[in-house]
Structure 1
Amino acid sequence: MLETIEDVQVKKRAVRPVPEDCYSQAPLDTGQDKNKIFQDELITLLERANASRIDDQRCVLPASFNQSSCRRMTEDRRETNAERGRQRLVKTLEGPGPYETIVLPHGGGYWADCGGGNLSLPPSNEHQPKTYRHHFLGQEHVNLTGWDESQGPVLVSVKYEAVEDQTRVVLRLRTGTVHSLVPSTASPPLAIVKALKPELSLNVLEPVLCPRASHLIAAYDEHVLVSQYKFGVLYQKFGQTTEEDLFGNRSSSPAFDEFLNCLGRRINLKSHRGYRGGLDTQFGQTGEEAVYQVYKETEMIFHVSTLLPYTDNDPQQLQRKRHIGNDIVAIVFQESNTPFSPDMVASHFLHAFIVVQAIDPHSANPRYKVCVTARDDVPAFGPPLPNPPIFHQGPELRDFLLEKLVNAESACYKANKFAQLELRTRSSLLESLVNDLREKSKEFLYSAAPETPTDFPETPKSESGSGNRFIDTVRKALIARVRSQENNNNTVKKMANGHSENDPSQSGNNTVTRSGTFGKKSSPSSPVSSPDIHTQRLNSRVSESDCSSLNSVELENGADSDTGLESMSSSENKTCSLCLEPADLAAEITRLKCDKLHLLRQNVTCQREIKRLRERELGLQSELAAASREILRLRELLKDYSTKDNAPTTL
């Protein structure tokens, strides 16, 4: 039962200290001070009570505090594991040799391979990135795209192999690419795809029909190929059991230099023009030399710990760990038999270590023992180690190590941390490729079909390109029509005047005849004597129509348009060689409206451009004014400084 604070206070009141004069009369037999004993007992009791309350409070702490405490607990656990690993290595070194090359952590998390066939490699049935280039590109095949509800974008390549009487299929999903050879049948590609992946639910596959589609697909398949690698190289001396010891080696040894020469060639970073792997090639901040190698059309650069700059008063050597700690695979060179544990180096990126131990390094026939260790989520990778894993110095050791390093990095990409990033990248690239192929196919197939606007009929190119000339032509035709109407009016007037002079009783009929002559709309009460007035009115009406808004040019049934053509309806019964037919006139009016729309759009665009230029002009003027003020201020300062410098100094 836990003690409460009230119980502790009761015990404190029950046990009271004895006055000092009581103990001064006769010394104690035990020789101990009773006050000291009481204080110790009280402190112990208080500590127990506080510990009990802390235990009770740990389950009701806020979530934020739990997260921080968990983070601290994780760091403490990591430090504890590292300390335990170091103690285990120290304890191993206390025993007699020879020692194990790799000592796995006590908590697990890593696997090791030192030859002997105790580690089986997974079957190599994965899709090779260059399969499409070797078997499909430049040959007759079919590419199809689809979309699955659960798997997302789907891209399939199908090719019939006449020699083998088989069908080669490459199925690309966001989860990966599948390459398979199936017996040739009359089954459609959709059935073949569902036979390879029964969980797919897509019902339609669309063919890809656009230029250079095969090159885009080949580029997607080969985006996983890496042509540049960077690896770390650590130097471990005998008895070194911590990360600080590995990064703190200031100089190398002849055996280590001999191994580096076998691994690659030394280069001067300032004169290096190839892959640099994050090293400084201009100012020498990452050292002067590095190890470089070109192997099977791939560039490799090695971050060697002893070639990176050493920083005084920095036990962790962060300048070195900044490069090696961000690598994925590292080599650990041991000049003599000493154990290595993969948890010695704390890094989120390092997933695999290749430990190379020198055997008789100073003899005429130096040999090397190779062991491999990696995290549990990294699959095994080749080439397999021989039994025993001993190599002689020379091209055999170099080729094996370089091949092992490349395969190790490829295998590390399948670890949980890197696999999530790879899945995200592959999904984004595949979705972009499928959408791009679909759009290009639609453009390639349907680009020749004309697009008809829905708002207004299409204007012929010969007329839309010369809208202003077309308007001028219509103006001339309308002016000629008005002039002909005025001539007819004058003729009618003369005839009416002649009848009135001969027979005044016919004046009423003249009015009826005049009204019947001009049609449905009534004519002006007095005839127009000058045709120029009609011409000015027509020009003004046409210009006003061109500058009006878009709503004022809508052509409605039974409505008169605002283009200065009202007088045309009054002469429908008249025939003239310069007049147009009603159907042609309606078509020309429609084309005029289309030209007007184009002009209005150009006007809006020009207005926007003018507004933007004005805003830019105002901005430049404000900047110029600010610059002028700054120049004046600097001139005043320069004048003041010149005055102070020229002033005589008084002693």
Structure 2
Amino acid sequence: MSVLVGNSDFRPLPTNPTAKITGVHESLLQECEKDIIWYREHFVGKAHHNYLAVDSPRGPLAISLIHDASASTFKVLVRSTQGSERLTVAAQSVPNPWWRKAMGLLPTNESVMQTVSSNIPLQCLKHCKETSKSNLPNELLAMEERQVIRSYKFGLTYLGSGQATEEEMFSNKHEHTSQGFKQFLNFLGETIELKGWKGYRAGLDTQSNNTGTHSVYTKWQGYEVMFHVATMLPYAEKDRQQLERKRHVGNDIVVIVYQDTDTPYQLSTNTSHQNHIIAVVQPCGEGYKLCLAPKNGVPPFSPEMPEPPIFFKDAVSRDFFFHKLINGERACYKAPSFAPKISRTRQVLLTELATKFIK
């Protein structure tokens, strides 16, 4: 199977002869979840310091600092619009005047912050103490929790024999798809009835069947995944472009293209600015061949693609496939199209928090 890149912004991912199809052996935690765990483990319930800034050269900030006497270290968590930094420094490395040492005093918090990072604007920070009416540590945790993504939506399209373009792809009716495609749907999840559906709906109508009657859904490793299956979305006889289908799949970051034959899919025909990873799946013996093509600007993401890039219909292969797609979407958040939006969200949350607690 080959993928024609042409003048497209997409590039096929390289494969690695030493890589293997494996289950999930590494943490699936998002970075903000790691920050939450670190703050809970080392700060919450212990005497520590919190500093806030509404406006600084780095934008709004929330900084937590604690002395870990058992490890003779200081730990600092710096939350900014660009993400969070978990910093640790040995207590003996922090400058401390002789007179403070003689009095048994620790280095000042300012000295600690200057030591762990030269990029902390001390002059803009305000030390915020907890009051009986507020609980800043819990609100810091709540802010991070709001940024944890626990549900994903992936586009899923079908390319029949001899088809190679996006327009042909969106024109397929579900009853005309192959048995292999329907088996692939079973591999991905369960076919659910949309009307009355109570789980994650990914923007699909669950009341009036306006977006079709059924879709494919699964729970995986604690996450909910809903697929926008193009052939299950409404088909309009007089609409050559099938805009209703494109409205959903075109807004998905990751799109799976199931391809029945060797006819290369022309990536250059993809017109969506939102789609950032195209995953082309083709039946291969008892399994599937996979080619992933991220858009330029998407950083590398694990797990590595094996050579040959073939996975089977077992649980381990399914874990590999979902792991790759979910990590791929997370990598896309760092691409130029999404990083500013993520940063703006954090800016709003940090500004609201700092404004509330700085009096």
TM-score normalized with structure 1 length:
0.48
Q: What residue is the counterpart of 1:182 in the other structure? A: 89
For 1:381 and 1:277, the matched residues in 2 are separated by 24
In structure 2, C-alpha distance between the alignment counterparts of 1:125 and 1:428, rounded to whole Å: 20
Q: Which has the higher contact order (CA 8 A, sep 6+)?
A: 2
- The letter for the 2-side match of 1:166 is T
Q: Paired residue for 2:52?
A: 145
Q: Is 1:219 paired with 2:119?
A: no
2:290 and 2:310 in contact (8 A); partners too? yes
Alignment correspondent of 2:340? 420
Q: Which residue of 2 aligns with 1:257?
A: 182
Distance (whole Å) between structure 1 residues aligned to residue 321 and residue 312 of structure 2: 12
Counterpart of 2:137 in 1: which secondary structure?
A: helix
**Secondary structure of the corresponding residue to residue 12 of structure 2:** strand
Aligned length: 330
CA distance in 2, matches of 1:255, 1:143: 57
Match of 1:288 in 2: 213
Between the aligned partners of 1:340 and 1:308, the Cα distance in structure 2 is: 21
Alignment of 1:262-411 (within 5 A): 262-360=187-285, 366-411=286-331
Counterpart Cα distance in 2 of 1:312 and 1:146: 57
Letter of the 2:77 counterpart: V
**RMSD, aligned CA:** 2.4
State the Cα deviation string for residues 571-610 of structure 1 (Å, max 9, x = none).
xxxxxxxxxxxxxxxxxxxxxxxxxxxxxxxxxxxxxxxx
Q: Is the 8 A contact 2:15 2:306 kept in 1?
A: yes
| The structure with more helix, counted as a fraction of residues | 1
> 1:158 maps to which residue?
65
DSSP-derived class of the 2:265 partner: coil
Partners in 2 of 1:125 and 1:272 — Cα distance? 28
Call closer, same or farther: CA 1:138–1:253 in 2, change over 3 Å: farther
CA distance 1:344–1:419, shift in 2 (3 Å)? same
The answer on whether the counterparts of 2:16 and 2:304 sit within 8 Å (CA) in structure 1 is no
Partner-residue secondary structure (3-state), 1:270 = coil
State the distance in 1 between where 2:211 and 2:61 align: 46
CA–CA distance in structure 1, aligned partners of residues 244 and 56 of structure 2: 49
**Residue pairs, 1:223-238, within 5 angstroms:** 223-238=146-161
Q: 1:433 to 1:257 in 2, by over 3 A?
A: same
2:129 maps to which of 208, 220, 240: 208
> What letter is aligned with 2:317?
L
| Whole-angstrom distance in 1 between the partners of 2:56 and 2:193 | 55
Q: Shift of the alpha carbon at 1:173?
A: 1.9
Residues 331 and 374 of structure 1: is their aligned pair in 2 closer, same or farther, counting only changes over 3 Å? same
Alignment counterpart, residue 242 of structure 1, candidates 165, 168, 178: 165
- What is the identity, as a one-letter code, of the residue corresponding to 1:172? R
Q: Which residue of 2 aligns with 1:103?
A: 4
Q: Which runs of 5 or more structure 2 residues have no equivalent in the other structure?
A: 20-28, 93-105
Question: 1:283 is aligned with what amino acid?
Answer: S
Residue identity opposite 1:145 in structure 2: L
Conserved? CA contact 1:145–1:208, under 8 Å:
no
Q: Shift in Å at residue 351 of structure 1?
A: 0.9
SS at match of 1:306: helix
Q: For 1:380, give the aligned amino acid.
A: P
Contact 1:232/1:329 (8 A) holds in 2: yes
Separation in structure 1 between the aligned mates of residue 299 and residue 201 of structure 2, nearest angstrom:
29
Contact 1:379 1:414 survives alignment (8 Å): yes
Q: CA deviation at 1:126?
A: 5.6
Contact 1:126 1:178 survives alignment (8 Å): no
**Cα deviation code 1:34-61 (max 9, x no counterpart):** xxxxxxxxxxxxxxxxxxxxxxxxxxxx
Matched, 1:112 2:33: no
Quote how far apart the aligned CAs of 1:267 are. 0.5
1:370 match: secondary structure? strand
| Equivalent residue letter for 1:297 | G
Displacement of 1:117: 6.4
The answer to whether the Cα contact below 8 Å between 2:49 and 2:127 also exists between their aligned partners in 1 is no
TM-score by length of 2: 0.84
How much has 1:125 moved relative to structure 2? 11
CA–CA distance in structure 1, aligned partners of residues 164 and 261 of structure 2: 14
Pick aligned residue for 1:167 from 74, 89, 113: 74
Task: Rate the CA distance shift 1:304–1:138 in 2: closer, same or farther, 3 A.
Answer: same
- 2:196–2:206 contact (8 Å) kept in structure 1: yes
Contact 1:129 1:222 in 2 (8 A): no
3-state SS of paired residue (1:178): strand
Instruction: Write out per-residue CA displacement over residues 403-458 of structure 1, whole angstroms, 9 at most, x where no aligned residue.
Output: 2222122111112121122222211211111121224xxxxxxxxxxxxxxxxxxx
Matches of 2:18 and 2:167 in 1, distance apart?
33
Counterpart of 1:194?
114
Offset at 1:147?
A: 5.7
Q: Distance in 1 between matches of 2:222 and 2:136?
A: 27
For residues 37-87 of structure 1, what are the alpha-carbon distances to aligned partners after superposition, in whole Å with 9 as ceiling and x for unaligned?
Answer: xxxxxxxxxxxxxxxxxxxxxxxxxxxxxxxxxxxxxxxxxxxxxxxxxxx
Distance in 2, Cα, partners of 1:395 & 1:194: 49
Gaps of 5+ in 1: 1-98, 361-365, 440-651
- Could you tell me whether the CA contact under 8 Å between 2:154 and 2:226 is conserved in 1? yes
